[in-house]
Amino acid sequence: MALSLAISPCPNDTFVFHALVHGLVPDAPPVEVTFADVDVTNTAAEQGAYDLVKVSYAALPWLLDDYHLLPCGGALGRGCGPLVLTRGDWAGHGGDPADLTGATVAVPGDRTTAYLLFRLWSAEHPPARIEVVPFHEIMPGVAAGRYDAGLVIHEARFTYHRHGLTALVDLGEWWEADTGLPIPLGAILARKGVVDPEAAAGWIRDSVRRAWADPAASREYVLAHAQEMEPDVVDQHIGLYVNEFTAELGDDGRAAIEALLGRAAAAGLTPSVAGALG
């Protein structure tokens, strides 16, 4: 019986899972893939909709009763954090650009890691209003003045200047400077009672290694789902988000997850996951 897999259409996910989805991993079961933005998969996972699913690390506190966190396949790293973007004429409250008091900010989802980091960063000067907006509408919306600022992820790091926008803060740099740890963005989960987590981790590691060994094999598949991203942006995207943590979280990866969710729980933003990460 085929396993259901939900990932984003972003190049890092299609690159990582190409071999698994296409039956190139020995002994792995057939996989039926669904593509969806992470805000959609966060909600779907809470309903137990998929056997294997990519979610935000920020959503883990609501999912660990039903899913195992896998030690591979996700997105962690350095120099790859979410950005808070504004127009060039943004002055901020009282002339402080980092003071978002009174501002309307567009975010890609209320349980995304990006938004959790934003809430931790802006705790002393929170914006007046948050609007959850489809990712592709955020930068045009900020540029047009519909929002004072926008929280963006992934390929926006390489393209925001095309919209005439300015990076107010790189939340990855802020996080790394404060903790010395990589930033945990997206996790891969396996549904309890349906998928053996050790077996699933083996399939995914094999898929990652095959992607690295022969990048050309997945090229057509990656570009077909890359949502109009140019090939050079696709390459930058994969190079940044598919890294050593994709093959194995390791001690630094686990410490980063525990730090993020520990701080979030201490601030009353999420339930505690103490002792639940395995």
Q: In angstroms, how far is the first alpha carbon of the chain from the final one?
A: 28
Residues in CB range of 197: below 8 A, 6 or more apart: 68, 70, 190
Q: Nearest-CA neighbor of 167 among 247, 228, 90?
A: 90
Q: Nearest-CA neighbor of 62 among 111, 9, 127, 105?
A: 111
Instruction: Compute the half-sphere exposure of residue 72: CA atoms within 13 Å on the CB side of its CA.
Output: 18
Which DSSP state fits 152? Answer: E
- Catalytic machinery residues: 154
- Tokens 């195992």, residue located: 68
Provide the b/e sequence for 72-97 (b: ≥16 CB within 10 Å): bbbbbbbebbbbbbbbeebebeeeee
